[in-house]
Amino acid sequence: MKTTPDYVKTAPPLSAEQVAEFEEKGFIVLDLDIEEGFINRLLEQVEPLYPANHRENPTSPTRVQDAWKQIDEVRQLAVAPIALAALEQLFGRRALPFQTLNFPIGTRQLTHSDTVHFNSIPSGFMAGVWVALEDMDLDNGPLQYYPGSHRLHEYSMQDFDLEPGYQNYRHYESHIQEVVEAEGLTPEYGTIKRGQALLWHANLLHGGSAQTDLSRSRHSQVTHYYFEGCDYYTPMNSTAEGPALRRPFWIPATESFTLPENELLARMKRLLKRVLGRE
Q: Which of 9-18, 46-55, 71-80, 256-265 has the highest mean pLDDT?
A: 71-80
pTM score: 0.89
Q: So what's the pLDDT on residue 258?
A: 73
Residue of 95, 201, 103 whose CA lies nearest to 145: 201
What 3-state class would DSSP assign to 256?
A: coil
Q: What is the pLDDT of residue 259?
A: 72
Q: Is the pLDDT of residue 32 over 50?
A: yes
The one-letter amino acid code at 85 reads: A
Are 174 and 98 a contacting pair, CB within 8 Å? no
* Rg value, the chain, Cα: 19
The mean per-residue pLDDT over the stretch 213-227 comes to 95
- Report pLDDT for 261: 63
- In three-state secondary structure terms, 68 is helix
What CATH number belongs to 6-278? 2.60.120.620
Residue 209 CA to residue 110 CA, distance in Å, equals 8
Q: Answer for the pair 75, 251: CB distance below 8 angstroms, yes or no.
A: yes
| Reported confidence tier of residue 54, pLDDT bands at 50, 70, 90 | confident
pLDDT for the residue 264: 57
* pLDDT tier for residue 273 given thresholds of 50, 70 and 90: low
Amino acid letter at 202? A
The 8-class DSSP code of residue 41 comes to: H
Domain layout of the chain by residue ranges: 6-278
Q: What is the pLDDT of residue 51?
A: 87
Average pLDDT over residues 136-150: 97
Q: What is the mean pLDDT of residues 238-266?
A: 82
Max CA separation in the chain (angstroms): 56
When pLDDT is averaged across residues 135-161 and rounded to a whole number, the result is 96
CA distance 136 to 58: 16
